[in-house]
Structure 1
Amino acid sequence: MTQAQSTNTNSAETDFNLLEEIDEADNHTSDATATRLSLQFQLDESYIGQRIDQVAANVWSDFSREKLKQWLKDGHLLVNGNIVKPKYKCEGYEQLTLDVELEAQTTSQPENIPLNIVYEDDDIIVINKPVGMVVHPGAGNSTGTLVNALLYHYPKSAELSRAGLVHRIDKDTSGLLVVAKTLEAQFALSKQLADKSVYRVYDLIVYGSMIAGGTIDEPIKRHPVDRVKMTVLPGGKDAVTHYNVKERFQHFTRVQARLETGRTHQIRVHFAYIGYGLVGDPVYMPRVRVPAGASELLNDTLRGFRRQALHAVQLGLVHPRTGKDMMFEAPWSEDFAALVDVLRSENKAY
């Protein structure tokens, strides 16, 4: 059974694959709901001389600059309580007030798709995502996504950017992710992600017998030829993965990895780079490697495992409203647990 518990321990710093980062979020005060938004922001001297529409776009980057300019013109976005033009130059220490009824932010349609909800309150939803579910609609995946399911489960999420998503995990990776139910919560969670104060741990199975844990600190960028792939290359974005060996088999290893940064495919790319690709990974380990002399059961299990053996097992965050430290855990998916059982019986270490 999935566990959710509060903890007072100081979690190691970790970074999600950010959808966005909100600067200066600590200055926000709000009584926002998903439908009506009331926000205030106190400027400081760093904004002196900047156009107010540019400042507003920096402060509330969930919204486009054009939308914020329109709200300035319509009187929904005030400066010291007054309507100003978008080209108004900041003098320093002004207070911005945004009071607006939100419109739908997505064209995706709600779908009655069951969700494995680990925890939910008025501000956040923590979900254990199953294998095969796409997080956000995109080319070739306009339906059946987590966003479609969220819009059905909580219709007000339509008024939030990306239905409240603040991070994502790959389609064929299972495990935990958090979704905001209000814009205030979305701001706060994005700030935590940017500050690397969110704790995120994965379990994975790799080819090869690893001796000890360590840290992989290698930059990642889009592959210059195969645009489906990411790769380790100079000039890429900083990417750091910490890992520990949890269980050794003859030809495989169960590893636990903690992200310090959150680049696309980071764990998959990093472990393939050091020569320990993930079992089942169709992109970075496209050929199944069956050990010589493997039993029929092990052979069938490896060939039948058609997704990366990767599961987001732990998620730690500070609740955006209460400030309480929270830690969540999600049990392995059935296929991951079955793979480990077979390795324990058919490929156990000497």
Structure 2
Amino acid sequence: MPQTLEAQHRVPNALAGCRLDQAAAELFVDHSRERLKGWIKAGALTVDGHPAKPKEKLAGGEWLRLEAELEDEARFEPEAIPLSVAFEDDAVLVVDKPAGLVVHPAAGNPDGTLLNGLLYHCPTLASVPRAGIVHRLDKDTTGLMVVAKTLAAQTALVEQLQARSVSREYDAVVTGVMTAGGTVDAPIGRHPRDRKRQAVHAAGKPAVTHYRVVERFRGHTHVRCRLETGRTHQIRVHLAHQRFPLVGDPVYGGRLKLPAGADEGVKTLLREFPRQALHARKLAFDHPVSGQRMTLRAHLPDDLLLLIDALRDDAETMT
């Protein structure tokens, strides 16, 4: 059954003149402003028993009452999916996601997802929206994800993401030899013709990716990316937009390019690399309870290590 929330607060005189959504965010501190705004619009958060609009100004002294139902994740089955846990306490869980694992059930992937594994690992996550998931990685992207184990922790982490105070760094291997790092500041939105893809276009949402060169090879580059924003497929879209698509990317990679002069072993490895060469290597955030800055790192997975080692060995034969 869905979890029912009931709470009320009287608007203090100090908040007189504030908008309803602003006052609600100050009083119902366990919930994000966006979630509260949705409840206001749905009539689940009322003023003196009456529905109101988020922008309505308050005089002070009103009673704000919340009666809402949280999304119940118990409808998804817990599954004994092995999880690589990088950190865990009573408030947060950080996992190192493998390639091939879908984060959330959807059409075509009704089970066998990270969410199913989280519900098995920590059954109390059934009472937290999206089982505590606050950000996602693509199915074939590996690396670190933070999961909130309580509603209050989830609200705090979502607010950090919105404030861009969560630091996320990725390792990637791209086709082409970069001369230097840089920044891509280009809006991303759904592709105007192919609804399954994202694209850089003026009607998209702001998106900023910083990247720097780690190592150059014969026809490829190992780069390190840092996100300011978290748009769907952001690194994949931005680097392809710069004409440096990720190795193995089936959506944005374009035509396979093999470096002239490379040995057959390297060419075969590039032809057969089974996924986009992208790994979430570093994650930093403020702990939602202690406030301590948490920094976690995940080693490169074996397939990326093998690829980088092979490209490095091949590059050394050029000298």
Could you tell me the TM-score, scaled by structure 1's length? Answer: 0.78
Task: Give the whole-Å Cα distance in 2 for the aligned partners of 1:201 and 1:191.
Answer: 19
Q: Deviations over 1:100-149 (max 9, x none)?
A: 89673452111110100000000000010000101111110111111000
Residue 245 of structure 1, CA deviation: 0.4
Distance 1:330 1:97, change over 3 A: farther
- 1:26 corresponds in structure 2 to none
Q: Aligned residue for 2:175? A: 207
1:84 and 2:57 are equivalent in the alignment? no
Structure with the bigger RCO (C-alpha within 8 Å, sep 6+) is 1
Counterparts of residues 5-154 of structure 1 (less than 5 Å): 44=15, 45-47=17-19, 59=33, 61=35, 65=39, 69=43, 84-86=49-51, 90-92=58-60, 96=64, 104-154=72-122
For 1:150, what is the secondary structure of its paired residue? helix
Q: How many angstroms apart in 2 are the aligned matches of 1:49 and 1:112?
A: 41
In the alignment, the residues of structure 2 paired with residue 313 and residue 276 of structure 1 have an alpha-carbon distance, to the nearest angstrom, of: 20
Shift of 1:294: 2.1
Deviation at 1:278, TM superposition (A): 0.6
Greater CA drift, 232-241 or 168-177: 232-241
- What's the CA shift for 1:221? 1.3
Gaps of 5+ in 2: none
Structure 1: tracts of 5 or more residues without a match: 1-34, 73-78
Kindly indicate whether residue 264 of structure 2 is the aligned counterpart of residue 296 of structure 1.
yes
Q: Is the 8 A contact 1:315 1:328 kept in 2?
A: yes
Matched AA of 1:46: C
- 1:249 aligned to which of 208, 217, 240: 217
Secondary structure of the residue aligned to 1:328 is: strand
Identity of aligned residues (%): 48
| Partner residue of 1:261 out of 203, 224, 229 | 229
AA aligned opposite 1:84: G
Q: Which amino acid aligns with 2:19?
A: Y
Secondary structure in 2 matching 1:221: strand
Change (3 A) 1:321 1:158: same
Question: Structure 1's 181 and 38: CA in aligned 2 closer, same or farther, altered over 3 A?
Answer: farther
Q: Are the aligned partners of 1:111 and 1:149 in contact in 2 as well (CA < 8 Å)? A: yes
The alignment yields a C-alpha RMSD, in angstroms, of 3.2
The answer to whether residue 238 in structure 2 is matched with residue 270 in structure 1 is yes
The equivalent of 1:323 in structure 2 is: 291
Moved more, 283-292 or 266-275: 283-292
Change in 2 beyond 3 A, CA 1:267/1:209: same
Question: Contact 2:40–2:52 (CA<8 Å) still a contact in 1?
Answer: no
**TM-score (ref. length: structure 2):** 0.85
TM-aligned CA deviation for residue 62 of structure 1: 7.0
Instruction: Give the count of matched residue pairs.
Output: 306
Asked if structure 2 preserves the Cα contact closer than 8 Å seen for 1:106 and 1:163, the reply is: no
Q: Which string of whole-angstrom CA distances, capped at 9 and with x for unpartnered residues, describes residues 166-186 of structure 1?
A: 100100000001000000000
